[in-house]
Amino acid sequence: MPAGKAIYLLPVALFFFSLFFGRYMMDPVETFRILIIGSANACFGGASSLLSTVSGHPVLLPSFEQTWGASEQVVVFRIRLPRLIAAMLIGGGLAIAGASFQGLFRNPLVSPDILGVSAGAGFGAAVGILLSGNPWVIQVSAFFFGILAVAVTYGIGRAVGKGSTLVLVLGGIIVGSLFSAFISLTKYVADPYDTLPAIVFWLMGSLSTVSNADVIAVAPPILLCALCLYLVRWRINLLAVGEEEARALGVDTKRMTVVLIIASTVITASAVCISGIIGWVGLVVPHIGRMLVGPDFRKLIPVSAVIGASFILIVDDIARTLTAAEIPLGILTSLIGAPFFAYLLTRKKVGWIS
């Protein structure tokens, strides 16, 4: 297999490695048996229930014998599997969103939260924790306010600058600052012994509480929007050159701008609502992709997804094994991302738009 194609296998290898690696180490062969046989038995059980419902009498399908304990099955299916799937979705999604925004705004320093989505989602989560504490309330509130923040930003851009990308960025700075102030206000009125620590920990980002239900909830919007960005990736090349050039080649720039903003925002809001704010992924990963495949978005979008998923898998492994207490994911991504980005800035030139 060519070296360029081998990178697409990296997140798969890291995924299976992370299944048995952790504070509770598991035998790799036994882990694969649990994953394969346990999944097969679950499918047989679901099929038995469906056939029993349709036929009106009990139908029992054969199942494989399980030679492992209940604790190992819980570790694989209830803890690590949803966490690792979420890590891949979040890392890949944020990287794709970051690359798309960088092409749309023709600025390699743009990140997915440039329009205020992370600050809005952070405020929504803080409100959910303050008023309820229910995980579903927190996630729905975070998603809603993340989308609302970008809607306000886009409204400012349409009203003031007629859709100008510069005004959109300035509107994002305004809205992000406003929601950051709201977050500070929410922390100020929160109970310092109960609610405030929960808000602070959520804002630092973590996958420690991710469940199968969370993955089921966020996987469809992230995957659908990522597919949308993948299908229009060649148009991002034209937008990255300039709006006039894109229009001359038949691209509806206004419609494409709306599509890119909506898809990238939904990805970011979906990721943030279950993981908290995880910075630097959408900013740094596309630059790594450009170092490998150049500035062509037809290659950059899929490579960014692969690198982003791999990056979060690695960082999450470090977060849950480095110390006795789990380190928030957002802290590690900042500790790794900021120095690496400084290294990129010291290079003579990182490929952008040829």
Between 29 and 127, where is the model more confident?
127
Closest by Cα among 201, 183, 191, 193 to 124: 183
- Looking at residue 32, its pLDDT comes to 85
Give the pTM.
Answer: 0.89
243 — pLDDT class (breaks 50, 70, 90): confident
pLDDT of residue 30 exceeding 90, the answer is: no
Report the distance separating Cα 314 and Cα 312, nearest Å.
5
2 — pLDDT class (breaks 50, 70, 90): low
- Looking at residue 353, its pLDDT comes to 43
Between 253 and 312, where is the model more confident?
312
Report the distance separating Cα 186 and Cα 264, nearest Å.
27
What is the separation, in whole angstroms, between the first and last Cα of the chain? 28
**Of 19-33, 87-101, 136-150, which gets the smallest average pLDDT?**
19-33
pLDDT of residue 107 exceeding 70, the answer is: yes
Closest by Cα among 222, 206, 341, 204 to 271: 222
- Looking at residue 52, its pLDDT comes to 67
Q: Is 1 helix (H, G, I), strand (E, B) or coil?
A: coil
pLDDT of residue 199 exceeding 60, the answer is: yes
- Looking at residue 354, its pLDDT comes to 43
Read off the tokens for 312.
Answer: 């979060």
Measured from the Cβ of residue 157, the count of other Cβ atoms closer than 10 Å reads: 23
CA–CA distance from 247 to each of 1, 153, 241, 254 (Å)?
39, 24, 11, 10
- Looking at residue 250, its pLDDT comes to 83
Mean pLDDT score of the chain, rounded to an integer? 86
DSSP state of 79: I
- Looking at residue 128, its pLDDT comes to 92
Taking residues 238-246, what's their average pLDDT? 81
DSSP state of 211: -
Report the distance separating Cα 300 and Cα 306, nearest Å.
10
Q: Is 327 helix (H, G, I), strand (E, B) or coil?
A: coil
Q: 3-15, pLDDT tens digit by residue?
A: 567 889 999 999 9
* CB-based contacts of 349, cutoff 8 Å, min separation 6: none
Closest by Cα among 114, 17, 118 to 321: 17
CA angle (149 as vertex; 113, 97 as ends), nearest 5: 30
Share of the chain above pLDDT 90, in %: 47
- Looking at residue 244, its pLDDT comes to 80
pLDDT of residue 68 exceeding 90, the answer is: no
Report the distance separating Cα 307 and Cα 213, nearest Å.
25
Report the topology of domain 91-346: ABC transporter involved in vitamin B12 uptake, BtuC (1.10.3470)
Q: 267-312, pLDDT tens digit by residue?
A: 999 998 899 999 899 999 999 999 899 889 999 999 999 999 999 9
Q: 163-186, pLDDT tens digit by residue?
A: 677 788 888 899 999 999 999 999
The ranges assigned to domains in the chain are 91-346
Taking residues 226-235, what's their average pLDDT? 95
Between 245 and 3, where is the model more confident?
245
Name the residue with tokens 């495949």: 293
pLDDT of residue 332 exceeding 50, the answer is: yes
**Which helix H or strand E contains 202, and what residues bound it?**
helix 195-204
What is the rounded (10 degree) CA torsion for 211, 213, 215, 219? -170
- Looking at residue 337, its pLDDT comes to 86
Report the distance separating Cα 144 and Cα 133, nearest Å.
16
Q: 122-141, pLDDT tens digit by residue?
A: 999 999 999 987 888 888 99
pLDDT of residue 264 exceeding 80, the answer is: yes
pLDDT of residue 62 exceeding 70, the answer is: no
Taking residues 93-120, what's their average pLDDT? 89
CA angle (78 as vertex; 142, 200 as ends), nearest 5: 35
Taking residues 195-200, what's their average pLDDT? 91
